[in-house]
Amino acid sequence: MRFLTCRKCESRVASTPSGSNPGRSLKAGCVLVALGLLVSLAAAGFQGPQQRSRPILNPANIPPWFQTGMFRSARWDGGPIEAEKGELTGWPNFTPDSPLHVLQATRNWYNLKTIRFLKIAHINWAWVTWSNGFSPVTEEKQWRLLRAYIKACHENNIRVAAYFSIGNMFWEDMFEHLPQSIAWVKRMPDGSPWFYSRPNRYMADITNPGWVALQKERVTAAARAGVDAFWIDNAFSYYGEQNVGNFIDAIYAVVSKINPHIVIMSNYNRSIYTWARLQNGVTTEDGREPGYYTDRATPYIVTNAGLLRYNYAIGEGWRPVSVEDGQRHVGTREATLMASRKWQLAIAECAMYHTSLEIFVEGLFLRDLYFHDPVALRQLRAIGVYNGFLERNEKYYTKPESLAEVAILSDTTDSIVPALNRLSLQHLDYDVLFNYQRPHQSVLDHYKVIVAPNTNPLSEAWDTALSRWVKEKGGTLVAVQDASLFRPGPAGGDQDFGLGDLLGITKRAIPREMQVRRQGKGLAIYLPKLPTAAEMAALIRQHMTKEAVEVEPRPTVFSNVAYQAKDRRIVLHLLNYKQDLQQDIHVRVRFAVRRVEILSPDALSRSQAVVRSMAGGAEIIVPELHTYDLVVIYPGEDVSISSIPRYSGVCGEESDPSCMDSRRRLHAP
């Protein structure tokens, strides 16, 4: 656990992890009390024992180029089989008679000349369509193109992931070339085939040995072609978590023999985001086009902050996380091009929450790039401006540590994600923890407030840990409605709230109003229903201390704070969803400041911060913000660093010496 100790008052606050965000906490009167803990630490102690034996979950196997902050990603769908897929599925403009010639551009997308587009956009990780459900005979034509394309990408320092569908079958082609594959089709209860979409796409039974053998052949061919990762699509909830986990293990066992540093990501949609813990990479296409919108009576902001924090928390600090903003504000992603500045906003939003935006080009954007449309090329260059900024400043995006005082303890239903997006609009920083993780006290003791929003099941270990944290550490627990009513496994008739004694409730006497109970040094709060985001944020703030970094509230400006221990610096991200000029933003920090740098991909006429010393810290004035600024804050020289142990990666028990490595303690006199 990371601690900052103020010798003057000898108070100490522990800072922690696992969610996507940071920002915080100092006791009044101390020069510097609490600065961060590697976001990966929570995960560290939280790995369940059933996961530890799976080789894919070894953080040491993630290559350096795929660490947080080191990659800029794109969906680079294309090739003959992707064009055929679009036509058979009925995508917009994927017709032979379309005057837009989308099919032609898609078929020819893996011409080596298109690597120039990746370089313009400063993308160093792209996934290509390796297999999408046709027979190997048909897909081999695509593979011949891709072998040369992958080689050329590597020569240009671009890493490549191979897209494949976990179960899609274009059944006519499959049955023509592999007639026995009819036995691999997933069936409905009445015996009819399970469709992805009618009439051309069946879904396979991913437990069928014949199908698994075919998939092993596909991924082996891709690994031998040199791919650095795999991106799995169509892993739907109806397959079941256990079956998907077994499938991933089977694939990993094959490809890791060829490349021990291979990364496997799956495109999980809401309700199964947390299945990403089954593998060593996290991704989803469920992002929305962010922005400030005026198409309603009251202007509003669309943010992905909650989704990004949640998925970064699933990543536990060691899995790479990428997100596509697949939902356009108007129209579809294949037929609607985002404006240049929207691309930039989306890239910055992902970066400030420690994820990478997957640039989507398939459809009209790809077509326009292929035919060198000036508007599309301007958009690509705008993407390159922001990705180029991230590339030049990678050092500020790696190994982020959280300073959050608040944690949201979630279950695995993903039902809380929309509420997290709304909570983020209240300018509140928080981490996300999960009920499947092990509740290490060294992690919990950092937080001032933990919210359990309808969280079930909760194990006895969680109930015990939370009760101790409230009573002995003075934490404030906010439990909503039925949180802790169920434990893992079957329920007996005598089962009751696991946190019932702490909250003062039973299943037969549930309060209809908010109930607050003093328990030892802390508080246990019961809420009969989930309040509005504004109400929840106000309740949480009542029980927080002063933040280490406080940004002057502005309706469209949002912030995120991370700490980088190695360089002893705080990185403040400022993002303006309205993308207008904001001037003289005041930032209060509760420690002495040695130096401040302001970096931005935007053209700033004033970029020199004003720093004013004041009692208990300093005030920083950021002169200009258009869309995105990075404010790098170096605490005073009186902060020194020493080492203490920490848990990392897939640690098991706290006593396990293999889980230890160095972690620093910061001191301020």
CA distance 176 to 195: 18
Over the stretch 543-587, which tens digit does the pLDDT of each residue have?
A: 998 888 999 999 999 999 999 989 999 999 999 999 999 999 999
Residue of 426, 474, 472 whose CA lies nearest to 450: 474
Please enumerate in sequence order all residues whose Cβ is within 8 A of that of 180, keeping only pairs 6 or more positions apart, or say none. 210
Q: Are the CB atoms for 627 and 650 separated by under 8 Å?
A: no
CA distance 159 to 658: 31
Backbone angles phi, psi at 434, to 5 degrees: -125, 150
What's the pLDDT at 650?
A: 36
Task: Return the amino acid letter for 304.
Answer: N
What's the pLDDT at 433?
A: 96
Burial class (CB in 10 A: 0-12, 13-18, 19+), 642: exposed
Of the CA atoms within 13 Å of residue 499, those in its CB half-sphere come to 34
Over the stretch 408-436, which tens digit does the pLDDT of each residue have?
A: 999 999 999 999 999 999 999 999 999 99
Please enumerate in sequence order all residues whose Cβ is within 8 A of that of 415, keeping only pairs 6 or more positions apart, or say none. 454
582 bridge partner residues: 625
Q: Are the CB atoms for 230 and 162 separated by under 8 Å?
A: yes
Q: Are the CB atoms for 171 and 152 separated by under 8 Å?
A: no
What's the pLDDT at 497?
A: 97
Residue of 549, 520, 553 whose CA lies nearest to 537: 553
Q: Are the CB atoms for 584 and 609 separated by under 8 Å?
A: no
Q: Are the CB atoms for 609 and 550 separated by under 8 Å?
A: no
Backbone angles phi, psi at 567, to 5 degrees: -100, 5
Q: How far is CA 579 from the centre of its chain?
A: 23
Backbone angles phi, psi at 38, to 5 degrees: -50, 130
Token pair for 25: 């906490």
Ranges in the chain, pLDDT < 70? 1-52, 639-669
What's the pLDDT at 548?
A: 86
Q: Are the CB atoms for 137 and 177 separated by under 8 Å?
A: yes
Q: How far is CA 266 from the centre of its chain?
A: 13
According to DSSP, residue 655 is labeled: T
Buried b vs exposed e over 177-201: b needs ≥16 C-beta within 10 Å? ebeebeebbbeeeeeebbbbeeebb
Please enumerate in sequence order all residues whose Cβ is within 8 A of that of 83, keeping only pairs 6 or more positions apart, or say none. 94, 103, 106, 107
Backbone angles phi, psi at 550, to 5 degrees: -120, 125
Q: Are the CB atoms for 406 and 539 separated by under 8 Å?
A: no
Any idea which residue has 């070894």 for tokens?
58
CA distance 208 to 185: 9
CA distance 12 to 473: 12
The radius of gyration of the chain's CA atoms, rounded to the nearest angstrom, is: 25
CA distance 499 to 496: 9
Q: Are the CB atoms for 37 and 628 separated by under 8 Å?
A: no
Q: Are the CB atoms for 247 and 212 separated by under 8 Å?
A: yes
Q: Cis peptide before 199, with omega less than 30 degrees from 0?
A: yes
User: CA dihedral defined by 394, 400, 403, 404, rounded to 10 degrees?
Assistant: 100
First to last CA, the chain: 20
Q: How far is CA 424 from the centre of its chain?
A: 15
According to DSSP, residue 320 is labeled: -
CA distance 62 to 43: 15
Q: Cis peptide before 457, with omega less than 30 degrees from 0?
A: yes
Task: Return the amino acid letter for 321.
Answer: V
Q: Checking DSSP bridges between strand 321-323 and strand 282-284, what pairing results, if any?
A: parallel
Please enumerate in sequence order all residues whose Cβ is within 8 A of that of 575, keeping only pairs 6 or more positions apart, or say none. 345, 348, 349, 352, 557, 558, 559, 560, 627, 628
203 bridge partner residues: 168
Over the stretch 39-55, which tens digit does the pLDDT of each residue have?
A: 333 333 334 335 557 99
3-state SS assignment for residue 37? strand
3-state SS assignment for residue 344? helix
Q: How far is CA 10 from the centre of its chain?
A: 36
CA distance 162 to 131: 8
- Which H/E stretch holds residue 177? helix 171-177
Token pair for 200: 């051309």
Write down the pTM of the prediction: 0.90
Taking CB atoms within 8 Å and a gap of at least 24, the contacts of 494-499 are 498/458, 498/460, 498/462, 498/463, 499/452, 499/458, 499/463, 499/466, 499/467, 499/524
Q: Are the CB atoms for 428 and 448 separated by under 8 Å?
A: no
- Which H/E stretch holds residue 646? strand 640-647
Please state, as a whole number, how many other Cβ atoms lie within 10 Å of the Cβ of residue 624. 18
Angle at 514 between CA 512 and CA 519, to 5 degrees: 125
Please enumerate in sequence order all residues whose Cβ is within 8 A of that of 609, keeping only pairs 6 or more positions apart, or say none. 596, 597, 598, 620, 621, 622, 623, 631
